[in-house]
């Protein structure tokens, strides 16, 4: 895969080289204790879709705490981070559905100010989606509870609009998340097949354990088109459980995922598994490499929300520069480390990533 990446991205980074599709959400972030999580049947380091029992949560955290409002949505965060590192506007384009409201304007302004080319589908049927971000243990753990609202109403016809088709044709890498399988698996499959036909790369973040449990069929359908798959240890273990893998160690699980059937057999799937402060597992050409992470001191950690999104943004920013995969992981670690030291997926000054500048 590495030689393919270097060939595909041998030229200068251009506008619209990356297309992301996902659920744009406004994060409502608060610090709580474990009893508060139990009240709403939430877990410390998990991500779920809101059920009826969770709906009072959104009003309550606004009234009871002093929340931070942060532009969110996993894929949108990833495109913002990639833009931050690349320092060139409109390298990334982004599709997702929002309401016709003030929250949508906040999201669009934030993404565009970070350099993302935003192509929202707008609905009047529901408000812009929100995500309750409940931080515990001094920000070390985050529980995400997403009320998709308008984001749930994305329809495949949006990607066939001329302005969207124009950026899809320019793209060399298309990226989405497992969360989006709950919204429009049809749109994801269309883009995945397009990427395969046009010799573009298709990358996917599995996003959360519930994706494997409740959207296994949709994930099974798209997986043969996935060139790069991202996940964390909990997600990889959930994949092993629900896909009945024989592997038990996280390294063996990553290797089995890499070997999962693929439409384009000429390039092996790359699998990247994060494990907090433990080394990142990189599987390339069915070889396992562990890349160390420099742990942060406890007092440096502000908020782990967005760390995974930042990791993938950092990784993708170097893929489109045609860099070796180990360097992609090192940039991913840098990006995640930076985001963890800030509230939400936000930046403190310009990117200072310097490795292998060329």
Q: Which are the catalytic amino acids?
A: 309
- For the beta sheet containing 129-136, the strands, ordered from the edge strand earlier in sequence to the opposite edge, are 47-49, 141-147, 129-136, 25-31, 68-72
| Dihedral over Cα of 39, 41, 46, 47: its sign | negative
Asked if 120 and 98 touch (Cβ cutoff 8 Å), the reply is: yes
- How far the first Cα of the chain sits from its last, in Å, is 21
CB 238 within 8 A of CB 48: no
* Torsion of Cα atoms, 60 then 61 then 66 then 72, to 10°: -140
> What is the Cα gyration radius of the chain?
19
- CA–CA separation, 316 and 203 (whole Å): 9
């Amino acid at each position: 895969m590495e030689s393919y990446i270097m060939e595909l991205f041998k030229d200068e980074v251009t506008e619209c080289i990356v297309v992301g599709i996902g659920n744009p959400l406004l994060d409502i972030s608060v610090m709580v204790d474990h009893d508060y999580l139990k009240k709403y049947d939430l877990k410390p380091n998990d991500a779920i879709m809101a059920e009826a029992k969770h709906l009072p949560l959104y009003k309550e955290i606004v009234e009871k705490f002093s929340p931070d409002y942060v532009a969110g949505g996993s894929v949108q965060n990833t495109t913002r981070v990639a833009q931050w590192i690349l320092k060139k506007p409109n390298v990334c384009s982004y599709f997702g559905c929002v309401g016709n409201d003030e929250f949508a304007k906040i999201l669009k302004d934030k993404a565009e100010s970070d350099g993302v080319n935003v192509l929202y589908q707008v609905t009047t049927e529901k408000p812009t989606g929100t995500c309750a971000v409940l931080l515990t243990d001094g920000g070390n753990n985050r529980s995400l509870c997403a009320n998709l609202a308008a984001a749930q109403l994305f329809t495949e016809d949006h990607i066939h609009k001329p302005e969207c088709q124009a950026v899809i044709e320019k793209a060399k890498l298309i990226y989405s998340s497992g969360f989006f399988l709950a919204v429009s698996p049809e749109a994801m499959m269309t883009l995945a097949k397009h990427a395969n036909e046009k010799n573009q790369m298709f990358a996917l973040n599995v996003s959360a354990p519930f994706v494997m449990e409740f959207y296994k069929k949709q994930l099974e359908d798209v997986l043969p088109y996935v060139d790069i798959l991202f996940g964390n240890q909990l997600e990889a273990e959930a994949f092993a459980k629900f896909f009945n893998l024989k592997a038990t160690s996280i390294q063996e699980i990553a290797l089995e995922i890499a070997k999962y059937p693929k439409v384009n057999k000429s390039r092996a799937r790359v699998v990247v598994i994060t494990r907090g402060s433990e080394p990142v597992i990189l599987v390339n050409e069915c070889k396992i490499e562990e890349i160390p992470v420099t742990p942060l001191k406890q007092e440096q950690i502000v908020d782990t929300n967005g760390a995974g999104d930042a990791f993938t943004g950092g990784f993708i920013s170097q893929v489109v520069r045609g860099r070796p995969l180990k360097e992609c992981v090192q940039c991913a670690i840098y990006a995640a480390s930076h985001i963890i030291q800030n509230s939400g997926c936000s930046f403190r000054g310009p990117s200072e990533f310097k490795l292998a500048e060329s």
